[in-house]
Structure 1
Amino acid sequence: MKPEFENTPLVKAGKRFEIEIDGHFAFIDYREMGHQIALVHTETDPELAGTGAATAVVEKTLAYIEENGKKLLPFCPYVFAYIKKHPDWKRIVDERFEGYNKL
Structure 2
Amino acid sequence: MSVELPPIVLSEAAHRFELVVDGHMAYEEFERFPGGIAYLHTIVPKALEGRGIGSALAKHIMDYAVRNHLKVRPDCPFVKAYIDKHPEYQAISLAHGAK
Pair in the same fold by TM > 0.5: yes
Once the two structures are TM-superposed, the CA of residue 4 in structure 1 deviates from its matched residue by 1.8
Contact 1:31 1:40 survives alignment (8 Å)? yes
Q: Once the two structures are superposed, what CA deviation does each residue of 1:26-67 show, in whole Å capped at 9, x if it has no partner?
A: 211110112210001111111101111011011111111111
| Structure with the larger RCO, 1 or 2 (CA within 8 Å, 6+ apart) | 1
Q: Percent identity?
A: 35
What letter corresponds to residue 60 of structure 1 in structure 2?
H
Which position in structure 1 is the counterpart of 2:8? 10
Q: C-alpha root-mean-square deviation of aligned residues, in Å?
A: 1.6
Task: Give the AA of the match of 2:57.
Answer: V
The runs of 5 or more residues in structure 1 that have no matched partner are: none
Aligned residues: 95
Unpaired segments of 5 or more residues in structure 2? none
- Residue 67 of structure 1 corresponds to 67
Q: Is 1:26–2:26 an aligned residue pair? A: yes
